Structure 1
Amino acid sequence: MIYQNILETVGNTPIVELKKVIPASSPHKFWAKLEYFNPGLSVKDRIALALVEGAEKRGVLKPGGTVIEATSGNTGMGLALVCAVKGYKSIFVMPDKISEEKRAALRAYGAKVVITPTAVEPDDPRSYLSVSQKLAEITEGSFLTNQYHNPDNPNVHYQMTGPEIWQQTDGKIDVFVAGAGTGGTISGTGKFLKEKNPNIKIMCPDPVGSILHDLFYYKEVRNPPQPYKVEGVGEDMLPENVHMDVIDDFVQVSDKESFLMTREIVAKEGICVGPSSAMALVGAMKYAETLEKPSNILIMMADSGRAYLSKAFNDDWLKDNGFLPSPMKMTTVQDLLNVRKKPQPVISAKVGQSVLEVVNLLRDNGISQVPVFSDGKLVGVLDESDLIHPLATGKLKADEPIIHLIKGTIVWVDPNESLDTLSDRFQQGYIALLKDEKDQLHVITKIDLLEYISHNL
């Protein structure tokens, strides 16, 4: 079949049964509807065409006009694609937590991208919703698609996505799982499926930090909204397109669960989806534990993981955000001591010794740093670098005492401290010291840490 344009390829995305990522003991079937098979790589392609064509029919968007939207990236991508085909200009306003891949992709379609802060209230003039509204007011010939409140959003899912799923599964679906950002997917699709079979359960996974879970269960916000890293789902306000009467249950999922599952799905199933899709799967697996009989659970996997290479698939980003354990944080100073060569008596200097004596001490023992004692008390440390320049320039004579060269930058550490903490502490001093349970003094240097990391991590 030859399509007349790329917009005709939207929809009819495949459903794949998940097996390797699901516990073998589970009696349920988990089906993933892979929306990244859409041309814009997400479920939002479905609403993009509906939003634009709805505006055209109402006469609010005319040839040469500008489409404006507040987006987490996926709706923007769908709209950018539609605008490219139909000849409209586009401006998209995005919170700063959105991945650089999404920003670059929108610009590739010729769109203008405006970035706003994430951690502000929805009615704050700096929020992406407020900024998009302001841009619509000052841009002549513009149309604000308003995906959070535009009824064309859930309607297209009612008319298109719901029937598509019903046909693909032959109606043999027990649970439908979809996250809620604007609410269009779960509200429109859920409504259709409920009309076909009132016994189908509609479950919404929600990021920890979103207020939707509280609003569903308590009809009020008991836990104030908090920033979270998963993009495109959850809210700090209630969009009109979130139809709570369609939804049967909410399940909260943490950022860490979502990002780790993102990695697990692609590694085990060969399916590369974004963190919101992984969040939906984690929520589905939690919800499945409450089901009394084997069920067919369909999960909307909203987009592609390729839009999150700098985040979900970046080890450094995951470690920085506490989602991927760092070996340095999991390993302690005691671990370093356990594998170090049998401890030798601590080599130390005394305040009254001369520079030459300390130089010989460092040379004979093959060390570069030494603790300095006075009457049995530790008073500081001395490093070879403190001696080289003064001796070379004649500012220091070999027979002079070391007392004026001693530095008080001593770092005392605990054996249970992580090596990550030890590394930070080395920024405060040259030598780390600790006393063990036998009151034996141990000296740990930067070289000790480097050797341990090189051979053990």
Structure 2
Amino acid sequence: MKSDAAIIHLPEFSKHIGNKGNNKFFALLGSKFPSASIKYISVLGMLTHLNNTVGLDKVSTLYSSTSGNTGTAAAYICKKTGMKFIALVDQKLEADKAAKITAYGGKIIRVNGGVHERIALARKLSEDDPYGVDLDQYNNPGALLGHYQITGPIIWGAMDGKVDAIVVAIGTGGTFGGIAAYLTQRNSRLITVPVDAKGSAVIDGTPHCRLLTGIGCAFIPKNVYRAYQFIRSEPIVVKEKDAFLTARWFRKTKCLEIGGSGGAVISATLDLADQITNKRILMVFHDGADDYHLTVYSDTWMVKHGFINTKKEAAHV
């Protein structure tokens, strides 16, 4: 993957927000990675770690608790390497996300309960399978290492080392932690802003049911504790309604089509831009809009869940 394809300058975004603080805005597009998500790098790193620690030469099946992108990336890589992949997902996982996993040959098991039940089942199935292993995205340090070794250098190289701030959604910790670790080693003044969802335990601290996926977690994973040390600014928590409406606004202004977590990143970036001036700010978008046509970009879904009042109102957001 070419770095110049993954990172773009967003001058139109600056115009739409009134050129706040004379800052310049850039975006890393996770949709440009294989499997159309930045989680491809996370999974590569985690598999490398597993190979170095437990060995994968005799492993035929990979198990993982996932809410979407990690599962898609794992299914994609497993298809390339000849492994089977089994994704443990919530009952509420959207049909389009499930379809992408199965399109790459993955098997879906819908689990009653929440993330803890998914994790427990992934662990049990892998332990009961003599040729199976649990990816364990919550604790596997390879998630950070992958972004440290691959994504960080892509950013640094594509921007010629001229990056003053990064804004990244934080969930299980690997993407934010790995990117921030690499870049802060090269720029000690770098502003690193983790973005969490309201209703997540990671930063907000008060977990509850929510519809915004790809950001936050119902508990604090070990990888998040590893990532905390690379925070160089006040974290920003975004309400899911704000994330969804911002993502729709971003598409309407013809900037880009992004996922729900990307809407949270933009919302946080707007807050950050009010506080700093003359900076080059990089927003990291984990994925594109492909998995969100039935949710964030569906007027019916937005009305059903109370994020907009009527379909007539939807024409303006």
Q: TM-score by structure 1 length?
A: 0.64
Q: Are the equivalent residues in 1 in contact too, given 2:248–2:296 (CA < 8 A)? A: yes
Write the distance in 2 (CA, Å) between the matches of 1:133 and 1:16: 39
User: Which amino acid counterpart does residue 235 of structure 2 have in structure 1?
Assistant: F
- Match for residue 162 of structure 2? 172
1:271 and 1:151 map into 2 onto residues whose CA distance is 31
Cα RMSD between the aligned structures? 2.1
How far does the alpha carbon of each residue in 1:44-102 deviate from its partner, in whole angstroms, 9 at most, with x for none? 11122222233234343234610011112111111111111110011011123432111
Aligned to 2:280: 296
Q: Which residue of 2 aligns with 1:226?
A: 208
| 1:388 alignment counterpart | none
1:241 corresponds to 2:223 = yes
1:367 maps to which residue?
none
**Once the 2 structures are TM-superposed, how far is the Cα of residue 310 of structure 1 from its aligned partner?**
0.6
Alignment of 1:200-211 (within 5 A): 200-211=190-201
Superposed displacement of residue 134, structure 1? 1.9
1:10 deviation in Å?
A: 8.2
User: Aligned residue for 2:78?
Assistant: 83
SS of the counterpart of 1:237? coil
Contact 1:13 1:38 in 2 (8 A): no
Matching residue's letter, 2:17: P
* Structure 2 match to 1:23: 17
How big is the shift at 1:29? 1.4
Match of 2:145 in 1: 155
Aligned match of 2:110: 115
Counterpart CA distance in 2 for 1:202 and 1:317 is 33
Distance 1:187 1:271 in 2: 25
Match of 1:435 in 2: none
The alpha-carbon deviation at position 128 of structure 1 amounts to 1.7
The correspondence for 1:51, drawn from 41, 46, 56, is 46
Separation of aligned partners in 2, 1:77 and 1:55: 19
Alignment match, 1:72: 67
Report the counterpart of residue 57 of structure 2 in structure 1: 62
Equivalent residue, structure 2, for 1:309: 293
Percentage of matched positions with identical amino acids:
28
The AA in structure 2 aligned to 1:109 is: Y
The alpha carbon displacement at 1:139 in A equals 2.4
Determine the C-alpha separation between the residues in 2 that align with 1:186 and 1:277: 13
Task: Verify the 8 A CA contact 1:13 1:35 in the aligned structure 2.
Answer: no
Aligned to 1:188: 178
Q: 1:135 is paired with a residue of what secondary structure?
A: helix
1:35 paired to 2:30: yes
Where do residues 346-425 of structure 1 align in structure 2 (5 Å cutoff)? none
Amino acid at match of 1:295: K
Offset at residue 301 of structure 1 (A): 0.5
Match of 2:249 in 1: 264
Counterpart contact for 1:107–1:113, Cα < 8 Å: yes
SS of 1:247 mapped into structure 2:
coil
TM-score (norm 2): 0.91
Could you tell me how far 1:34 is from its partner in structure 2? 0.7
**1:135 correspondence with 2:117:** no
Bigger fraction of residues in helix: 2
Residues 61 and 142 in structure 1, CA contact (< 8 A), matched pair in contact too: no
